[in-house]
Amino acid sequence: MFPVLVFALFVLLIDLYAYKGLKVVFDMPSSGLVKTVFRLIYWLVPVILFLAVIYAVYSRPADPSPPVFNRYYYIVAYTLLFYIPKLVFIAFHLLEDLILLFENIAGLFILYFKTGKFPSGEVNAPRRKFLSRTGIIIAILPFLGIIYGVAVGRFDFRVSETEIRSPGIPASFDGYRIVHISDLHIGSFYGYTKRVRQAVEIINRQQADVIVFTGDLVNNFTAELDGFTGILGKLTAPDGVYSVLGNHDYGDYFQWESDAQKKANMKEMLAAQENMGWSLLMNEWEPLVRSNDTIVLAGVENWGKPPFPRYGDLEKALAGTGGFPFVILLSHDPTHWDAEVLGRSNVDLTLSGHTHGMQVGIETAMVRWSPSGIRYPRWGGLYIDNGQFLYVNRGLGYVAFPGRIGMPPEITVIELKSGI
Judge contact between 79 and 10, C-beta under 8 A.
no
The pLDDT > 90 percentage for the chain reads 79
The confidence score (pLDDT) of residue 54 equals: 85
The distance between the two most distant Cα atoms of the chain, rounded to a whole number of Å, is 98
Judge contact between 146 and 77, C-beta under 8 A.
yes
Asked if 147 and 169 sit in the same domain, the reply is no
Paired with 177 in beta bridges are 415
Asked if 179 and 315 sit in the same domain, the reply is yes
Query: Of 108, 133, 151, which residue constitutes the final position of a domain?
Result: 151
Asked if 127 and 213 sit in the same domain, the reply is no
Asked if 381 and 330 sit in the same domain, the reply is yes
Asked if 125 and 70 sit in the same domain, the reply is yes
The confidence score (pLDDT) of residue 120 equals: 66
Range of the domain at 288: 158-418
The confidence score (pLDDT) of residue 69 equals: 86
User: What would the mean pLDDT of 369-387 be, rounded to a whole number?
Assistant: 96
Asked if 293 and 363 sit in the same domain, the reply is yes
User: What would the mean pLDDT of 152-160 be, rounded to a whole number?
Assistant: 97
Out of 115-119, 253-257, 364-368, pick the least confident. Answer: 115-119
The confidence score (pLDDT) of residue 123 equals: 63
Counting Cβ atoms within 10 Å, is residue 388 exposed (0-12), middle (13-18) or buried (19+)?
A: buried
What does pTM read for this prediction? Answer: 0.92
The confidence score (pLDDT) of residue 150 equals: 97
The confidence score (pLDDT) of residue 67 equals: 84
Judge contact between 343 and 310, C-beta under 8 A.
no
Backbone angles phi, psi at 159, to 5 degrees: -100, 120
Task: Return the closest-CA partner of residue 190 out of 160, 221, 168.
Answer: 221
Asked if 181 and 231 sit in the same domain, the reply is yes
User: What would the mean pLDDT of 89-99 be, rounded to a whole number?
Assistant: 95
Asked if 59 and 188 sit in the same domain, the reply is no
The pLDDT > 70 percentage for the chain reads 96
Query: Of 151, 173, 194, which residue constitutes the final position of a domain?
Result: 151
Q: How far is CA 407 from CA 4, 7, 368, 371, in A?
A: 31, 28, 11, 11
Asked if 169 and 100 sit in the same domain, the reply is no
Q: How far is CA 295 from CA 279, 285, 336, in A?
A: 17, 10, 21
d(CA 244, CA 40): 51
Q: How far is CA 35 from CA 49, 86, 164, 268, in A?
A: 22, 19, 62, 58
pLDDT digit string (tens) for 32-63? 788 888 889 999 999 999 999 888 877 766 66
C-alpha Rg value of the chain to the nearest Å: 27
Is the pLDDT at 282 greater than 80? The verdict is yes
Asked if 176 and 71 sit in the same domain, the reply is no
Query: What CATH number is associated with residue 300?
Result: 3.60.21.10
Element housing 285 (H / E): strand 284-290
The confidence score (pLDDT) of residue 194 equals: 97
Judge contact between 397 and 357, C-beta under 8 A.
no
Q: How far does Cα 414 stand from its chain's mean position?
A: 22
Asked if 382 and 303 sit in the same domain, the reply is yes
Q: How many structural domains does the chain have?
A: 2
Element housing 366 (H / E): none
d(CA 369, CA 360): 9
Judge contact between 165 and 419, C-beta under 8 A.
yes
Q: How far is CA 42 from CA 5, 35, 37, 47, 223, in A?
A: 20, 10, 8, 9, 40
Asked if 203 and 328 sit in the same domain, the reply is yes
Q: How far is CA 127 from CA 101, 102, 132, 278, 339, in A?
A: 10, 12, 10, 65, 55
The confidence score (pLDDT) of residue 318 equals: 98
What is the residue-wise DSSP string for 301-364? Answer: --B-STTS-B---HHHHHTT-TTSS-EEEE-S-THHIIIIITTTSS-SEEEE---GGGGB-EE-
Judge contact between 300 and 283, C-beta under 8 A.
yes
365 or 270, which is more confident? 270
Query: Of 127, 151, 175, which residue constitutes the final position of a domain?
Result: 151
Out of 115-119, 122-126, 377-381, pick the least confident. Answer: 122-126
pLDDT digit string (tens) for 168-180? 999 999 999 999 9
Is the pLDDT at 321 greater than 80? The verdict is yes
SS3 label, residue 380? coil
Is the pLDDT at 231 greater than 80? The verdict is yes
- In angstroms, the first-to-last Cα distance of the chain is 61
The confidence score (pLDDT) of residue 260 equals: 96
Which pLDDT band holds residue 199 (cuts at 50, 70, 90)?
A: very high
d(CA 214, CA 399): 16
Kind of pairing, strands 158-166 and 410-418? parallel
